[in-house]
Amino acid sequence: MQLKVYLSGEIHSDWREKIIQGCEARGLNLSFYSPVTLHEASDAAGDVLGSEEQSFWRDHKSAKVNAIRTRTGLEKCDIAVIRFGDKYKQWNAAFDAGYCAALGKPYITLHSKDIVHPLKEVDTAAQAWATSPDQVVEILEYVIQ
Amino acid sequence: MQLKVYLSGEIHSDWREKIIQGCEARGLNLSFYSPVTLHEASDAAGDVLGSEEQSFWRDHKSAKVNAIRTRTGLEKCDIAVIRFGDKYKQWNAAFDAGYCAALGKPYITLHSKDIVHPLKEVDTAAQAWATSPDQVVEILEYVIQ
Amino acid sequence: MQLKVYLSGEIHSDWREKIIQGCEARGLNLSFYSPVTLHEASDAAGDVLGSEEQSFWRDHKSAKVNAIRTRTGLEKCDIAVIRFGDKYKQWNAAFDAGYCAALGKPYITLHSKDIVHPLKEVDTAAQAWATSPDQVVEILEYVIQ
Amino acid sequence: MQLKVYLSGEIHSDWREKIIQGCEARGLNLSFYSPVTLHEASDAAGDVLGSEEQSFWRDHKSAKVNAIRTRTGLEKCDIAVIRFGDKYKQWNAAFDAGYCAALGKPYITLHSKDIVHPLKEVDTAAQAWATSPDQVVEILEYVIQ
Amino acid sequence: MQLKVYLSGEIHSDWREKIIQGCEARGLNLSFYSPVTLHEASDAAGDVLGSEEQSFWRDHKSAKVNAIRTRTGLEKCDIAVIRFGDKYKQWNAAFDAGYCAALGKPYITLHSKDIVHPLKEVDTAAQAWATSPDQVVEILEYVIQ
Amino acid sequence: MQLKVYLSGEIHSDWREKIIQGCEARGLNLSFYSPVTLHEASDAAGDVLGSEEQSFWRDHKSAKVNAIRTRTGLEKCDIAVIRFGDKYKQWNAAFDAGYCAALGKPYITLHSKDIVHPLKEVDTAAQAWATSPDQVVEILEYVIQ
Amino acid sequence: MQLKVYLSGEIHSDWREKIIQGCEARGLNLSFYSPVTLHEASDAAGDVLGSEEQSFWRDHKSAKVNAIRTRTGLEKCDIAVIRFGDKYKQWNAAFDAGYCAALGKPYITLHSKDIVHPLKEVDTAAQAWATSPDQVVEILEYVIQ
Amino acid sequence: MQLKVYLSGEIHSDWREKIIQGCEARGLNLSFYSPVTLHEASDAAGDVLGSEEQSFWRDHKSAKVNAIRTRTGLEKCDIAVIRFGDKYKQWNAAFDAGYCAALGKPYITLHSKDIVHPLKEVDTAAQAWATSPDQVVEILEYVIQ
């Protein structure tokens, strides 16, 4: 059984690479999907369809294009890993968690201890809370071994 | 047709009352549901089941109890209004938005203009973005008139 | 058993009133829902949320607000009646028919004979094709008698 | 991840070939499906089951056979592209859009600017509106890169 | 809790009346739905939409109209009772049983012992096989008491 | 909002009455459903359909009849309370818990502390674990207040 | 795109072989599934689990085992072909048709003209009615070409 | 057609190996999945995420991690085999049976005759009750042959 893992959330650190490399090092039969993680590219996803004067509609158009990719990723994955970093609002990460919860799709949160209280609804609906990519790798290995 | 409206998100201002009173003043056939909006009561929702030494598990237990109410509200409502205030992380509000999106449940966001960019995924999946309770009342009246 | 009937499509003739009055005259236990049928109001549905310079985004915003009403109507109804008039593109009517088909929701089309060929996919997925409001009333009476 | 793309709508220009060739030129891992695009063959899809005297029932029978193919395509695809040309009613294209919307299936519309207003409901429920096959190719590349 | 009971199948004996009267005599909180049980009216259900020369299409048109009523009945009921008499093919009754099975809707079959073998798939997917209306009444009372 | 509560599990103590009376004493807007709780009646649920020589098939027939009631109760309820007593296997209670979990239906377990370890999968999928009917009443009041 | 075709119904003629060979001769990318078509084996499907004295329960046990295969076939297929022969009740074929209809799964009926009237509900919910295996092959080729 | 079989339940005997080897010996095209069957590893599944002082929360955390694997197995399988041994409560096995039942997923129970009565609800919702791994192998061969 190959499992599909969607890596949602923070795009400013190398947590995705660490998880992917850790799983490859252990030879786990997993495939990984992510949103577009280059901030500028993501914000510009809709520009090809024509420029917008108002930033609200530019955002709107790009978010719609990005959603093709992120929704497909969420719908197709077996497990999501949702990362909250120490900066920014990251409402899209929490949005993805709620999306998974409604679909009954298991997800693992990855974040440091200091944001445990504001993330309590998100963590409670999760199957696991990890604080390091290594822990995520160990959980994935356990699940698929 | 009576519609059910779930009022999710910020609990530190009187936006719920304004929407409810505005709709009542116009005689709209709507019923409203909310999470428990008293912060202390919400954090203590699981205490009746036994005290916990670790705050993580106290949060976890309370969040599970609160989820009985919030999930039922989200599943039963016809429309959700999701409010983001100017303080706190409010990841639970974004979580509820994602939950609605996955269910195909229409929702309206309510927040000020300065957080438009970080909320772009949440707003794009919404049916409307309002900046005041009055606007929400107008939309609800239009929908149910 | 009371059935809910959603009346979708053309807004430039009085077919809705004829169906509703015909059913009332026969004492049928039906309730009726419709989109907002005043063209100007429908186009302006999103204006309360702020004016738009570009007509594309004004349309977009209004269509999103209207969709709260139309999707709720489609999701809640037991039967839809979908009317195609002799003018305009009426793609929203065909869109509603496809929406019903995907939900397995029975619908009746109402249109004149001269547009039978271009509507063949829409008619085939329908449970009945009527050419007059009276025929729709007769079908509804048969279904609920 | 290979994605499946269903190409719905207009059958009188070579937009399908342009998209397919554009994606192949970029080496995208996509597979494409379409309805039968030869008009005469489509109208005659049911003739093998016996001839019909009345054109209505010939249409009906052929539309049912075609629906085996089109529904399967819509149900199986990850993304639909729905093309509206400058001629004909094209209600089947709008029907497919509504079908996608009800399934929560992302779709991209492809049409010129002059039909933006009558397509507003269809475009609003879409994830993107493109005016050229090249733009569709760019979006697909962004989504799958 | 009021339960809705759909009475499907044979239309040539008074088994429906016996069940309804038996339940009323015991004061059970049940509501009952049925297809149109007058054979001629059922065959003519589509005639109001225009006469057909070919009996196949007359049947087709009437069956589509009848399906509005029967599908609604099956989708809305909590329990179906499906009666097989001693005459006719009654494929529509078996069709309704399969429809219930796919929806996970519980149903009770009502038929005499001599057709047990050909009905084995239908009976096995049922929650109960009764040989008399009285037994059905007893089961319904047990379920709702 | 009235909520429906299904009371599943142990039938040898008066926990159901305690919960119902506790909720009535507080004036909570809840309605309660249960399986047939008289052991002999439950085992004999299918006897009206004819006696069976083999106890396996008598059990089978009665379990099928009981399932009409229990599945309807589980499908219709908003919240289930699932009680494990200190005797018997009670596999049907765990079965109901799994059924709720698959439907995404929130449930509360009610059992003493000494069976926490063997019930860990059942408790983890629950929204709350209570040790007394009073605690269940408090949770229900919190959820519906 | 490979499509899966489930061949349901009559087991006393070689219609399955004709369809499979016809499709192979044309090189169609189809895979075929069937129930166990040896009557004696089908009736004895449950015997391995222990013999039964009563034929009703032997049938019941075998029908349950057969249902593992037939339900899996129906759930997994893209298209079903449902054959009604000129003998026997064939209620299981009509049951399968109803099962497909409830799932929104397209099916083709295959039967001679003389049973058109009793099969009207089954045929109307079908996408096509064929009278020969060759016609089925032609339809399948059209759908997948 | 390859079928996926999930082997749920008792972990103290070699029934899984017997089924897998029996199916391999017959060359059946089946793939098998199981929960982690090493008791100590299963109880420690969550330890990597940090140790817990209270056994309740250690169990809770581990059960959540195990559920990623078991739910995925149940959701993906075509058939489940659920084994009840002669020791322990095995509520998780009954939970899995209920989970399958709610999903409409066919399952086979495997247990000795002496626990037939307490398992009556679980067995009735099953497609077959086997008393030996060999019988399970025979059923699987029949289903997939």
Output the six-digit token pair for F31: 């309605």
Among G1, G104, G106, the residue with its CB nearest the CB of D33 is G1
Residue B122 to residue A90, Cβ atoms within 8 A: no
What is the reported pLDDT for E92?
97
Average pLDDT value for residue range G38-50: 97
In percent, the amount of chain F with pLDDT more than 70 equals: 100
Cβ-Cβ contacts under 8 Å, H36 against chain A: 142, 145
Among E49, E67, E71, the residue with its CB nearest the CB of C135 is E49
Q: Scanning every residue of chain H, which has its alpha carbon at the shortest distance from the alpha carbon of G75? A: H78
Helices (H), G26-132: 39-43, 55-76, 91-103, 120-124
What is the reported pLDDT for B8?
98
Q: Which of F77, F83, F95, F99 to mutate to test the interface with H (most CBs of H within 10 A)?
A: F95
**pLDDT surpasses 90 at A87:** no
Residue G67 to residue H129, Cβ atoms within 8 A: no
What is the reported pLDDT for A52?
96
Q: Which chains touch F (3 or more CB pairs under 8 A)?
A: B, E, G, H
Q: Which chains touch A (3 or more CB pairs under 8 A)?
A: B, C, D, H
Nearest residue to B96 via CA among B80, B113, B112, B76: B80
Q: How confident is the model at residue A97 (pLDDT cuts 50, 70, 90)?
A: very high
- Length of chain E measured in residues: 145
CA distance G106 to G141: 15
Residue B68 to residue F127, Cβ atoms within 8 A: yes
What is the reported pLDDT for G87?
87
Cβ-Cβ contacts under 8 Å, F87 against chain H: none
Q: Which of F65, F66, F78 to mutate to test the interface with E (most CBs of E within 10 A)?
A: F65
Alpha-carbon distances of G76 from C103, D119, H128, rounded to whole Å: 20, 36, 21
Half-sphere exposure of A100 (CA within 13 A, CB side): 32
What is the H or E stretch that residue E7 is in? strand E3-9
What is the reported pLDDT for G1?
78
Q: Any idea what DSSP says for residue E119?
A: T
* C131-C135-C139-C142 Cα dihedral, nearest 10 degrees: -160
What is the reported pLDDT for C41?
96
Q: Scanning every residue of chain G, which has its alpha carbon at the shortest distance from the alpha carbon of H124? A: G64
CA distance D9 to D30: 19
Residue with token string 């429908």: C42
**pLDDT surpasses 90 at F83:** yes
Among H66, H89, H99, the residue with its CB nearest the CB of F118 is H89
What is the reported pLDDT for F124?
98
Beta bridge partners of D4: D31
In percent, the amount of chain A with pLDDT more than 90 equals: 97
ipTM of the shown complex: 0.97
**pLDDT surpasses 90 at A8:** yes
Q: Any idea what DSSP says for residue C115?
A: G
Average pLDDT value for residue range G44-65: 97
Nearest residue to D106 via CA among D126, D136, D130: D126
CA distance G67 to G96: 11
Half-sphere exposure of F78 (CA within 13 A, CB side): 21
Nearest residue to A126 via CA among B60, B125, D83, B137: B60
Nearest residue to B82 via CA among B95, B93, B66: B93
Cβ-Cβ contacts under 8 Å, B68 against chain F: 79, 106, 108, 127-128, 139, 143
Cβ-Cβ contacts under 8 Å, F69 against chain E: 142-144
Nearest residue to G17 via CA among G2, G3, G37: G37
CA distance D125 to D122: 6
Q: Could you tell me whether strands E107-110 and H79-83 are parallel, antiparallel, or unpaired per DSSP bridges?
A: unpaired
Ranges of chain E whose pLDDT falls below 50: none
What is the reported pLDDT for D1?
78
Sign of CA dihedral F107, H51, A138, B57: positive
**CA–CA min distance G123, chain E (Å):** 8
**pLDDT surpasses 90 at F20:** yes
Nearest residue to C12 via CA among C42, C46, C37: C37
Nearest residue to F95 via CA among F82, F79, F108: F82
Residue with token string 């996926």: H4
**Average model confidence (pLDDT) across chain F:** 97
Ranges of chain H whose pLDDT falls below 70: none
Residue B128 to residue C72, Cβ atoms within 8 A: no
Q: How confident is the model at residue C124 (pLDDT cuts 50, 70, 90)?
A: very high
Residue type, H42: S
* G125-G126-G127-G131 Cα dihedral, nearest 10 degrees: -140
Sign of CA dihedral H60, H64, H65, H67: positive
Helices (H), D26-103: 39-43, 55-76, 91-103
Q: How confident is the model at residue A141 (pLDDT cuts 50, 70, 90)?
A: very high
Cβ-Cβ contacts under 8 Å, F76 against chain E: 1, 78
Residues of A at the D interface, defined by Cβ within 8 angstroms: 31, 33, 36, 41, 45-46, 48-50, 61, 64-65, 67-69, 71-72, 76
**CA–CA min distance H17, chain G (Å):** 20
Q: Which of G39, G54, G74, G95 to mutate to test the interface with E (most CBs of E within 10 A)?
A: G95
Q: Which of A7, A33, A37, A48 to mutate to test the interface with D (most CBs of D within 10 A)?
A: A48
Residues 6+ apart with CB under 8 A from C47: C58, C62
What is the reported pLDDT for B87?
87
Alpha-carbon distances of B60 from A124, A128, F124, F128, rounded to whole Å: 6, 12, 11, 10
**pLDDT surpasses 90 at D59:** yes
- Using one digit for the tens of pLDDT, what is the confidence trace for D87-145? 889 999 999 999 999 999 999 999 999 999 999 999 999 999 999 999 999 999 999 98
**Average model confidence (pLDDT) across chain H:** 97
What is the reported pLDDT for F1?
78
Residue A69 to residue D139, Cβ atoms within 8 A: no
Q: How confident is the model at residue D37 (pLDDT cuts 50, 70, 90)?
A: very high
Q: Do D and H touch (≥3 CB pairs < 8 Å)?
A: no
**pLDDT surpasses 90 at A79:** yes
What is the reported pLDDT for A1?
78
CA distance F59 to C90: 59
CA distance D75 to D99: 9
Q: How far apart are the first and last CA of chain B?
A: 10
Residue with token string 């049409």: D111
